[in-house]
Amino acid sequence: MGLVTGACFAEFGNNVTCVDKDEKKIGKLNEGHLPIYEPGLDSLVSKNVREGRLHFTTKLKEAVEKALVVFVAVGTPPSSDGSADLSQISQVAQEIAKAMNDYKVIVTKSTVPVGAAAFIKNIIEENKESSCNFSVAANPEFLREGAAISDFMRPDRVVIGCKDEESAAILKDLYRPLYLIETPFVITSPESAEMIKYASNAYLATKVSFINEIANLCDLLGADVHDVAKGMGMDERIGSKFLHPGPGFGGSCFPKDAKALVALGRSVGYEVKIVEAALDVNEMQKSSIIERVRMLLPSLAGKTIAILGLSFKPETDDMRESPAIAIIEQLKLNEVIIRAYDPVAMEVAKSLITDISYCEDEYEAARGSDALLIVTEWNQFRSLDLKRVKKEMRMANIVDLRNVYEPDAVKSYGFNYICIGRN
């Protein structure tokens, strides 16, 4: 998120320095290598580096001294009780304080609990060594992995939370290219901006859990969740997006932010029941996948299963909270032999999931398997050569956790086929 934000602001014509204390990461970036896979980011970074607007350093003080606006994009990982751990925020705020040499706007891009702007303001007040003024603002991001650059360049909205007009004007100016394309802006308090981010992610996560429950009911009652989602989505009050059932939501945001919102509620004596339920349903969805596999393979021990897709969604190598991890762990506990393939996430996966075979492509993964699970909806899995897949497999079983195929079409090749909410 920090790298995408930096590269996009540089593309808007600003002079941007990205700071990280991880020397290896900065070293790699300075050699022209990206630490993550994100479509389009490579060329955007190299173009802006080449044109002299984008720089990478480990020297926070020098970078902050030169800057008018400082975006904080450090991690806010979950603590053991689910609340956001603000230790990185606290540490970076202290370092920024020591580098204060002039008026600056310090802006949170990280997803932070309501009240974080005030928390940062106090740290800077307490630690700054010069008398210069500063503002603290919240400017949450809504970037989706895999589509982060277009989400930055063409967002549904920009949310700016600040307490004074000067910082609001500076941030609006920074986003001027988006004003020109008539992007709506929400200017509000830092507290409301912080809450908008949590509420948006928790709402979307709830929408996914909701359609997963409807899909499970569809299977029990003989309805087709695709038709149901289509019929629901045509109601403009509901909207058609995020009504796609699957193996449960993952990624670096939904699980973490939903848990943090529940913890935030708890910290003020309020139980956020709907979000708690969305999280429970998500766990249930992930752990129920094995039952779907058992519908085709009642006895799992010693069977070989091909897994297509490991990342939590397509177009990323991010494995954080990927449903694939939970599914593979469960299969392994049941003594299943796993053959996996993912177009980009295998390097990352290798350090997280061991004792499985990583294959060259989808057909090699299918070889000798008793069932094939489509876990992530990479485009290349949407038009598999099903004849060839069937020839490679020992038994013709497909479990399509992303509903990428039409059940009747797959069955016409002689496969047993299970999906989510269309059985």
Q: Which residues bind ligand UDX (CB under 6 A)?
A: 141-145, 201, 204, 208, 242-244, 246, 249-251, 253-254, 312-313
Residue 188 DSSP label:
E
Integer Cα distance of 20 and 234 in angstroms: 45
Of these residues, 8, 18, 218, 253, which one is catalytic? 253
Ramachandran sector of residue 354 (left: φ over 0; alpha: ψ -120 to 50; beta: rest): beta
Integer Cα distance of 390 and 231 in angstroms: 34
CB of 49 to ligand UDX, least distance (A): 25
Tokens of 282: 């998500």
Cβ proximity to ligand UDX: between 97 and 399 the closer is 399
Integer Cα distance of 53 and 41 in angstroms: 15
Integer Cα distance of 388 and 375 in angstroms: 19
- The answer to whether 18 is a known catalytic residue is no
Integer Cα distance of 187 and 392 in angstroms: 57
CB of 366 to ligand UDX, least distance (A): 23
Residue 306 DSSP label:
E
CB of 316 to ligand UDX, least distance (A): 7
Q: What's phi and psi for 197, nearest 5 deg?
A: -65, -50
CB of 305 to ligand UDX, least distance (A): 20
Diameter of the chain measured on Cα atoms: 76
Tokens of 131: 């008398």
CB of 257 to ligand UDX, least distance (A): 7
CB of 78 to ligand UDX, least distance (A): 14
Integer Cα distance of 23 and 400 in angstroms: 42
CB of 414 to ligand UDX, least distance (A): 29
Integer Cα distance of 267 and 163 in angstroms: 24
Cβ proximity to ligand UDX: between 106 and 243 the closer is 243
- C-alpha R_g of the chain: 23
Q: What's phi and psi for 398, nearest 5 deg?
A: -125, 130
The angle formed by the CA atoms of residues 407, 412 and 416, to the nearest 5 degrees, is 60
Integer Cα distance of 156 and 186 in angstroms: 11
Cβ proximity to ligand UDX: between 128 and 320 the closer is 320
Cβ proximity to ligand UDX: between 254 and 415 the closer is 254
Integer Cα distance of 394 and 336 in angstroms: 14
Cβ proximity to ligand UDX: between 11 and 145 the closer is 145
Cβ proximity to ligand UDX: between 12 and 203 the closer is 203
Cβ proximity to ligand UDX: between 134 and 381 the closer is 381
Sign of CA dihedral 113, 115, 121, 124: negative
Enzyme catalytic residues: 253
